[in-house]
């Protein structure tokens, strides 16, 4: 298997980003309508995949097999199943009026100034309980869309708030894949990593809440509508299950069944056949992001196979060695953060990025005296920051699909991830919170 360090293995990802984002920016400048939808990401990535397959001297069938193994990687398939279930749940909930009922219920309880902070807190609680940002986006994004229809709050901002809350829990939850991967690769206890992580993330969360309160202070509810509480019950049920830490698949499946039952009981003419059609309609709506996720997974595996990830690891490790003479701890922490950031940009999967970089990050931490709790926290923080801001990441693709918005417009309103990055950089530069450093190897 070829994994010799090779910068050229990263070129396909660069080609994809230039085509997709570059075309969107150019069309925006030209004044085109919905510029980032003119060129589908699923089409823009095809030239990148072709380039990746043509690289190297190995047998063509072998490289295609590598690509397909990336497409079928367990994390990719897991995401695709969540996409399907999320689409089915959102479609059925919308068809029976569950989303509108839930929105009107919420608007009857909360003043406009508290809508944005409330969405953030709900998302943060759910994602921390479930340990998955994907499940959180699936559950909360339809509500945010409904709020956008009945208030003057911009829809992109509402979905950005949902993303913010989802990434808060993804980063901090003790049952999150990223937390498990970070603590295992760095050799520290989950509770110790949580405490360290919370001291960095909490200031970012509090500032986010304050900004959201100010942003929503001038908001207005443009229309009030009556609602039937029974149509709110399915959402309350899945929120309770999520907060109880029930598996995301069970939550979404139960949501589909429960919502369908409420529809049959409370909506005149709603039948089992219509319920099945609504589920299928939701599945179809997720086709594009499912295909793109699989293609990104295959491209990432090809780049790893051709040595792109190895090239990143070697360069960042070399940078750590050069910088360690002046301030070893600070240099080590900077390089660990840079390492996982770059890997996440290439793989578009924060868990995979941590697994790929964990061993090298541990070596950097030990040789530079970085506390293992710090290295685990920084791995998790910067992987989640990138995952919450890249327009080809699964979470933003799901949010964009539900809201019919460009993922880039939502990313620009994900204030929490931006503030978390600032808080983490501040923590590195000033060495806070203070910890007793690990003694470096002789």
How far apart CA 42 and CA 227 sit, in angstroms, is 39
Q: Bridge-partner residues for 151, per DSSP?
A: 221
Q: Please give the chain's pLDDT, 442 residues, in tens.
A: 456 878 899 899 889 888 888 887 888 788 777 676 688 888 988 999 999 999 988 899 999 999 999 998 887 888 788 878 888 888 898 888 887 787 777 777 777 778 899 889 988 888 887 777 888 888 888 889 988 888 888 999 999 999 999 999 889 887 787 888 888 888 888 888 888 999 999 999 999 999 999 887 766 655 656 778 888 888 888 778 876 778 878 888 998 999 999 999 988 889 999 999 999 998 988 888 788 888 988 998 998 899 888 888 788 778 777 776 667 888 889 989 998 998 888 888 888 788 878 888 888 888 888 899 999 999 999 999 999 999 888 899 889 988 888 888 999 999 999 999 999 999 999 888 876 554 443 3
Place of tokens 């541990």: 362
**330 has which bridge partners?**
none
What's residue 3's pLDDT? 62
Nearest alpha carbon to residue 407 among 94, 53, 20, 48: 20
Output the pTM of the full model. 0.78
Give the DSSP per-residue string, 125-153. HHHHHHS-HHHHHHHHHHHHHHHHHHBSS
Determine contact, residues 354/178, Cβ cutoff 8 Å.
yes
Residue with tokens 């998302």: 123
Cα–Cα distances in angstroms (integers) from residue 148 to residues 152, 194, 207, 244, in the given order: 7, 34, 23, 28
Q: Give the integer Cα–Cα distance in Å for 304 and 67.
A: 10
Give domain limits for the chain.
307-430
**Residues 163, 405 contacting (CB under 8 angstroms):** no
- What Cα–Cα distance (Å) separates residue 363 from each residue in 283, 307, 359, 382? 44, 20, 6, 18
pLDDT, residue 442, reads: 37
């Amino acid at each position: 298997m070829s994994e010799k360090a090779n910068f050229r293995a990263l070129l396909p990802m660069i080609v994809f980003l230039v085509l997709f984002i570059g075309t969107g920016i150019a069309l925006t400048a030209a004044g085109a309508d919905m510029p980032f939808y003119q060129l589908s990401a699923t089409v823009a990535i095809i030239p990148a995949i072709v380039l990746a397959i043509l690289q190297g001297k190995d047998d063509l069938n072998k490289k295609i097999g590598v690509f397909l193994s990336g497409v079928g990687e367990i994390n990719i398939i897991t995401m695709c199943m969540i996409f399907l279930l999320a689409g089915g749940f959102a479609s059925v909930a919308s068809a029976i009026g569950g989303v509108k009922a839930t929105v009107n219920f919420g608007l009857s309880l909360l003043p406009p100034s508290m809508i944005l902070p409330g969405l953030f807190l709900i998302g943060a609680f759910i994602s921390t309980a479930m340990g998955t940002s994907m499940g959180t986006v699936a559950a909360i994004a339809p509500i945010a869309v409904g709020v956008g229809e009945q208030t003057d709050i911009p829809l992109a901002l509402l979905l950005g708030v949902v993303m913010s809350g989802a990434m808060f829990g993804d980063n901090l939850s003790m049952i999150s894949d990223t937390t498990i991967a970070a603590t295992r690769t760095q050799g520290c206890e989950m509770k110790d990593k949580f405490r360290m992580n919370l001291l960095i993330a909490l200031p970012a969360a509090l500032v986010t809440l304050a900004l959201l309160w100010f942003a929503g202070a001038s908001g207005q509810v443009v229309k009030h509508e009556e609602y039937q509480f029974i149509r709110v019950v399915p959402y309350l049920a899945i929120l309770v299950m999520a907060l109880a830490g029930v598996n995301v698949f069970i939550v979404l499946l139960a949501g589909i069944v429960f919502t369908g039952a409420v529809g049959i009981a409370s909506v005149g003419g709603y039948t089992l056949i219509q319920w099945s059609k609504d589920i299928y309609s939701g599945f179809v709506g997720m086709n594009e992001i499912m295909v793109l996720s699989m293609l990104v997974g295959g491209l990432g595996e090809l780049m790893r196979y051709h040595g792109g990830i190895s090239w990143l690891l070697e360069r960042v490790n070399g940078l750590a060695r050069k910088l360690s003479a002046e301030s070893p701890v600070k240099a080590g922490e900077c390089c660990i953060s840079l390492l996982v950031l770059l890997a996440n940009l290439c793989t578009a999967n924060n868990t995979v990025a941590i697994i790929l970089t964990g061993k090298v990050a541990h070596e950097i931490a030990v040789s530079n005296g970085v506390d293992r709790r710090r290295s685990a926290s920084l791995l998790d923080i910067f992987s989640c920051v990138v995952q919450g801001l890249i327009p080809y990441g699964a979470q933003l693709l799901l949010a964009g699909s539900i809201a019919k918005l460009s993922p880039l417009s939502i990313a620009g309103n994900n204030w929490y991830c931006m503030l978390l990055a600032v808080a983490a950089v501040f923590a590195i530069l000033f060495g806070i919170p203070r910890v007793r450093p690990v003694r470096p190897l002789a």
